[in-house]
Chains A and B, each alone.
Chain A
Amino acid sequence: MLKTISRAALVAAAIAFSPLPSFAADIAGAGSTFAFPIYTKWADSFKKETGDAVNYQGIGSGAGIKQLQSKTIVFAGTDIPMKVEDLKKNGFVQWPMVMGGIAAVVNIDGVKPGQLVLDGPTLANIYMGNVKKWDDAAIKKLNPSLTLPSADIQVVRRADGSGTTFNFTDYLSKVSQDWADKVGSDASVEWPVGVGAKGNDGVAGTVGQTKNSIGYVETAYIKQNNMTYVDMINKAGKHVSPTVDALQAAAANADWAHAPGYYQILTDQPGDASWPITAATFVVVYADPSDKAASGEVVKFFDWAYKNGNAAASDLNYIPMPAGVTDMVRKTWASDIKNK
């Protein structure tokens, strides 16, 4: 017995005092919960390949920016791109890292995924409380062959502030002047109607158990929870489903070259194949960081992710940035960030 204990102690001591493996300082990032699954997965593979550790915490986009401002982290993740003047004011540089989609989901007896189709103004009217029943003329007109119940629409939305809500309300503001005037777009807005649920999980769960309800979630959650998604009529007037191709089309059609500071919101983009509620998530760093080594490591990490991380991203239902955009971002890194 004693022998085992002393041996265990010896092993423990050996572990405790052995020199650490090649060790660069942990680089710490925080922010967007939307980006959390993919950033942590990338960090995992990155550590295996290079030995460098990246630690990312999903604390919300706004909180991430705040942490970066107080210099407790070296990069922030945000789903709400910062405006150029805000970037300048803070001495920040941002770039888009990966994309995702947002789709409406419903729970109506007999309606299967992709069967129901809505357009932007109708979706806005549902969330304004102007369209109250599923057999409303506006919905019937878009779905002539579908039998819809004469039941009250149970509207579900996010209760917590989120980038998902920002992009969703940004889309509604673009397609409905009424929405833009009365509600507007932000991470949290004053909702005219509906029950608030916490997080994508909360919305998915609430829609799942509430008959005749409608909610909005990131497309990754649709697959995970087998939800009944709604097809949309896009800006070009075409009927589209929330597929990878449709999301990528939206990003490809966006005019990144003329978006200073990569301030680009991907909702309601032109193009026949574009999914209308597409969103990018952004990385923000200091242009002139105090810790050059850590900041250089951040760039190295995200460069690695652009090169090697697309398969992992697709596995998790994220959409990689088009090659044209990543080339632009690399130039930005070289010119705008002082790493040395």
Chain B
Amino acid sequence: MVVNSSVARAAQTEDRTRTLNDFKSADALFHSLTFGASVLVLLVMGGIILSLIIAAWPAMVAFGVGFFETTRWAVHAKPHPVMGVLAPLYGTMVTSVIAMLIAVPVGLGIAVFLTELCPLWLRRPISTAIELLAGIPSIIYGMWGMFYLAPFLATSVEPSIVAVFSHIPLLNVVFAEPISNQNLFNAGFVLAIMILPFITAVSCDVFATVPPVLKEAAYGIGCTTWEVMRNVVIPYTRVGLIGGVMLALGRALGETMAVTFIVGNESKVTGSIFSAGVTISSLIANEFAESDGLHQSALLYSGLILFVLVFFVLTAARYMLARGERKLGA
């Protein structure tokens, strides 16, 4: 027995080493697999940026800085084509801002209502409706927007807005006649509906991560629902909320199909959000198929600019988060 046990102990040690080695190599494999997956993302991103830059190069050379100062989009102008990204860039930003101004408060409101105030029987139908909203293809939003929403807004809602603000300086420029049936505001409005599910779903999910004990404690010292949301839930979930909003903004900046149907596709910059405009993605969607040479290069250049724009938005969001974090001392 005694002899046996020492042999067994030796065998055991060997077993143990082997098992540990197995674990180690499995871990190493796991590490390299996940590492590979992450590096792949960087490679794909780098590849996309590089190929965009190469494709956009002829347009960069041909138009230079003027590309950002020109609203004309004249592919066949004589003697030289004149193409500028100012109007689409402006339209992209205006429609996205309008969409965010509408969708963020409404989306947050829905999320707060669903997680804090909603009676149980109503929770299911509302969240299903929100999910359905996310499932509708964007071309359907485009069609619906063109045939029903845009004419309704342009004839029934927007004239009264113009009338209300007509004597207030600045606002009478933003909300001005003539009202185009397809305009920047309508596009922003449809975008707002499209990005609403992103904001709502993400907000609901992060609200659910707040430890109940925190909320209970706040309620326990006599806080109102508003105070609990304002001082406990929202600060606790700030990072997640901004993430959801940025996801939505990303979609709004890049949305193509729906906007193309509603924005009016006119290459101009006007102060009024009730006049037709164009966005970078709708411009590319409209013209890419029939483009070649410098025209195509200019379209890809616009795409690159959109890419950079989204990059800056995300960076700005990170920066804001980091600053907020420092302020809180966390």
Contacts and interface: CB of A to CB of B under 8 A. Distances in A.
Contacts of B290: 60-63, 160-162, 187-188
Contacts of B72: 190
Contacts of B178: 152
Interface string B297-323: 000000000000000000000000000
Contacts of B265: 159, 195-198
Nearest to A154: B181
Contact of B292 (A66, A160, A194, A195): A66
Interface in B8-60: none
A209 interface: yes
Given A190-B77, A195-B265, A209-B181, A62 B289 contact: yes
Contacts of A113: none
B255 interface: no
Contact of B74 (A160, A190, A202): A190
B92 to A, nearest CB: 16
A62 B146 contact: no
A186 B77 CA distance: 11
A134 to B, nearest CB: 16
Given A195-B266, A196-B264, A198-B261, A206 B146 contact: yes
Interface of B: 72-78, 146-147, 151, 178, 180-182, 260-261, 264-267, 276, 278, 282, 285-287, 289-292
B286 A159 contact: yes
A159 B286 CA distance: 6
Contacts of B287: 160-161, 188
Interface of A, secondary structure class, is loop
A86 to B, nearest CB: 12
A100 interface: no
Across chains A and B, which 3 residue pairs bring their CB atoms closest together, nearest first?
A161-B290, A196-B265, A60-B289
Given A62-B289, A190-B76, A198 B264 contact: no
Contacts of A81: none
A184 interface: yes
Interface string A137-170: 0000000000000001010000111100000000
Contacts, number: 82
Contacts of B75: 186, 188-190
Given A62-B291, A161-B287, A195-B182, A202 B77 contact: no
A184 to B, nearest CB: 6
B282 to A, nearest CB: 8
B182 A161 contact: no
Contact of A202 (B261, B266, B267): B261
A195 B264 contact: yes
Contacts of B151: 209-210
B76 A195 contact: no
A62 B292 contact: yes
A59 B291 CA distance: 12
Contacts of A187: 290
Contacts of A195: 180-182, 264-266, 276
A194 B292 CA distance: 25
Contacts of A129: none
Contacts of B282: 159
A186 B287 CA distance: 12
B246 to A, nearest CB: 29
Given A159-B260, A187-B290, A209-B151, 6 more contacts: A160-B287, A161-B289, A195-B265, A196-B276, A196-B278, A198-B286
Given A195-B180, A206-B146, A160 B289 contact: yes
A205 interface: yes
Contacts of B147: 205, 209
B139 to A, nearest CB: 10
Nearest to A152: B178
Contacts of A184: 76, 78
Contact of B286 (A152, A196, A206): A196
Contacts of B266: 191, 194-196
B308 to A, nearest CB: 25
A72 to B, nearest CB: 15
Contact of A160 (B78, B264, B286): B286
Interface in A180-223: 184, 186-191, 194-198, 202, 205-206, 209-210
Nearest to A63: B289
A190 B73 contact: yes
Contacts of B261: 197-198, 202
A297 to B, nearest CB: 26
Contact of B289 (A59, A189, A197, A202): A59
A311 to B, nearest CB: 31
Interface in A117-151: none
A59 B285 CA distance: 12
A207 B75 CA distance: 26
Contacts of B264: 195-196
Contacts of A154: 181
Contacts of A210: 151, 181
Contact of A198 (B180, B260, B292): B260
Nearest to A165: B290
B286 A189 contact: no
A66 B295 CA distance: 14
